[in-house]
Amino acid sequence: MTHLSNSTLASLQGKLPLPAYRLASSTPQIGIVHLGPGAFFRGHQAFYTDQALQHGGDWAISAVSMRSPDVSQALTPQDGLYTLAVLDAETSYQVIGSVAEVLIASEQYAAVFARLTEASTRYVTMTITEKGYCLNAAGELDLQHPQIQQDLTAISQPVTAIGLLASALAARYHANIAPFCVISCDNLTDNGHKLRRALISFAAQKDPALANWLEQQLISPCTMVDSITPATDDALRANLTAEIGVTDNWPIKREAFVQWVIEDILPSDRPAWQQAGVIYAADVSAFEKAKLRLLNAPHSTLAYTGYLLGYETVFDAMQDPTVVAQLRQMVQHEIMPSFIAPAELDVQQYSTDIFARFRNPAIRHLLAQIAWDGSQKMPMRILPVIRDNLATGRSIAGLSSCLAAWFLFIQRRASEGEKLVDPLAEHLLAVAAKCTGDAAHDVALFLGVTAVFTPELSTNTAFQVAVTAAYQQLHSKLATMAATNGV
Ligand code: CS2
């Protein structure tokens, strides 16, 4: 049995595809820092960079966790190497070599700061999830956010990604080093613009000249990222060992489908991402909308509804014809007409393919995983569609069911004593504790969460009526189910 590392890599030749550039005498130099080295990054951007490195170039990645030591503990003994399992009709494995080191910002701050301020670091990519941007309901940096406050006033090391990047950019500014290009790879609408505004707004609080320099020079493309990446489990580790004879502390699995669209404004000095399959587009917002609305919105709807109905995975929920029919109805009549698709995208086919991806029997994607951070996801994937539909008088019944399911999901987690993973958990659980089962009462309480619902939305009567009706309906359905099951 071979444990993955630099010293064993050559011995794996013939067993699975390897990063040839890591076997060469000179390994690539670090040119990219990535914040948030979770499974999605390792299955997606690190994969693309690995493929790009097969075409040459000095673009290895320094992967940085803000706080968690887990990835570093797993991958440092493996010299950053790990296995990617692509789950399709058959599973295929390959070793990814683009990650050269894994650092932990809270523990190795000087090393992280040095990486971020070296002129050779030209890109910072990030998957820090929606909450990592510390935005308010209007999508701007929340200057009242306690950690942003802490970073704005602290003399010590920053605790937020925005604070960390802003202080590294300040150091580059003072040292006359051009800013690195920042690439958000999170599922945020207009992710590049939001990130850029957040960094400039943070900088403006500290130093107007720095903010001005960033205005002029900071490149922050919008992106669309896509690949379903369920969490690693022991079965994956066991299969890897049994089928390939490799042990790996933390292999990653994902579906075969993978897509990365980047706004075409990158400097010419860049990894060979295009040869690796990256699509450069003049306008990414159409791609981003298509993906957030046709994949992520149905995903969240499945997560909350499916969970309440007792299903465990996306695949399981997709076996229920009523769930699928409702999802299809929402997609066809509420989501598809809500945006203008990219010219090159056949929206019907795109959506059909997404439903097929949800039905992939090889993927065990837990609904509970997608249900995380609802307060951050709703404003990106559901509320913009609701706003667009309200403006044009289109139905919001299905979209409202997703919100209703989220409200009832929060109550279910509370009543079952299960943890609610959400930065607003405390607030949401306090709201849930006041719920009585009366739809108008409960919905009014949830719509009062101003970090999620802007006043313009929460006071809209058509919106209140639709969400209350959806809540009433789902509440009764669940009560009937519970009575039938004798719960
Ligand atoms: C999912 C996404 O967890 C979630 O919220 O909707 O992670 C989804 O799997 C990816 O965006 C697919 O690209």
66: DSSP letter: S
Pocket test for ligand 1, best of 42, 127, 296 (most atoms within 8 A of CB): 296
Check: CB of residue 81 under 8 Å from CB of residue 6.
Answer: yes
CA of 436 to the centre of ligand 1 (A): 32
CB-facing half-sphere around the CA of 411: CA atoms within 13 A: 22
From the CA of 226, give the closest atom in ligand 1: 13
Distance CA 210, CA 215 (A): 9
Distance CA 16, CA 325 (A): 41
Check: CB of residue 142 under 8 Å from CB of residue 104.
Answer: no
CA of 77 to the centre of ligand 1 (A): 29
In the numeric block, which tokens belong to residue 415?
């009543």
ipTM of the complex, rounded to two decimals? 0.99
pTM for the full predicted model: 0.96
pLDDT value of position 6: 95
CA of 296 to the centre of ligand 1 (A): 6
pLDDT value of position 162: 98
299 lines ligand 1 (CB under 6 A): yes
Chunked mean pLDDT (size 10), the chain, 487 residues? 94 95 88 98 98 96 98 98 96 97 98 98 98 94 96 90 98 98 97 98 97 98 98 95 94 98 98 98 95 98 98 98 98 97 93 98 96 97 98 98 98 95 97 97 98 96 98 97 81
Check: CB of residue 458 under 8 Å from CB of residue 448.
Answer: yes
In the numeric block, which tokens belong to residue 444?
């009014």
CA of 317 to the centre of ligand 1 (A): 16
User: Which of 486, 394, 402 has its CA nearest to residue 446?
Assistant: 402
Torsion of CA 353, 359, 360, 364, to 10 degrees: 130
CA of 195 to the centre of ligand 1 (A): 19
SS3 at position 254: strand
From the CA of 370, give the closest atom in ligand 1: 3
226 lines ligand 1 (CB under 6 A): yes
pLDDT value of position 280: 97
Judged on CB neighbours under 10 Å (0-12, 13-18, 19+), 127 is: buried
Distance CA 85, CA 369 (A): 19
SS3 at position 56: coil
Pocket test for ligand 1, best of 226, 259, 299, 357 (most atoms within 8 A of CB): 299
SS3 at position 132: helix
Among protein residues, the one whose CA lies closest to atom 8 of ligand 1: 228
Among protein residues, the one whose CA lies closest to atom 10 of ligand 1: 228
Q: C-alpha angle 175/179/183, rounded to 5°?
A: 155
From the CA of 227, give the closest atom in ligand 1: 13
Pocket test for ligand 1, best of 185, 228, 318 (most atoms within 8 A of CB): 228
pLDDT value of position 487: 55
278: DSSP letter: P
Residue 209 phi/psi, 5-degree rounding, is -65, -40
User: Which of 244, 225, 261, 242 has its CA nearest to residue 84?
Assistant: 244
Rg (CA), the chain: 23
322: DSSP letter: H
Q: Where are the beta strands (DSSP E) in 273-345?
A: 279-281
User: Which of 148, 90, 119 has its CA nearest to residue 30?
Assistant: 119
360 lines ligand 1 (CB under 6 A): no
Q: C-alpha angle 397/478/325, rounded to 5°?
A: 45
Among protein residues, the one whose CA lies closest to atom 5 of ligand 1: 370
Check: CB of residue 191 under 8 Å from CB of residue 223.
Answer: yes
Sheet of 252-255, strands arranged across: 91-96, 82-87, 252-255
pLDDT value of position 156: 78
CA of 144 to the centre of ligand 1 (A): 28
Distance CA 409, CA 370 (A): 12
Phi-psi map region of 4: left, alpha, beta (phi>0 left; psi -120 to 50 alpha): beta
CA of 170 to the centre of ligand 1 (A): 33
pLDDT value of position 183: 98
Please name every residue paired with 60 in a beta bridge, in sequence order, or none if there are none.
30
User: Which of 94, 3, 92, 11 has its CA nearest to residue 47?
Assistant: 94
- Total number of residues shown for the chain: 487
Distance CA 87, CA 93 (A): 9
Pocket test for ligand 1, best of 44, 295, 313, 353 (most atoms within 8 A of CB): 295
Check: CB of residue 192 under 8 Å from CB of residue 184.
Answer: yes
Distance CA 174, CA 171 (A): 5
From the CA of 296, give the closest atom in ligand 1: 6
pLDDT value of position 458: 98
Distance CA 414, CA 420 (A): 8
CA of 326 to the centre of ligand 1 (A): 20
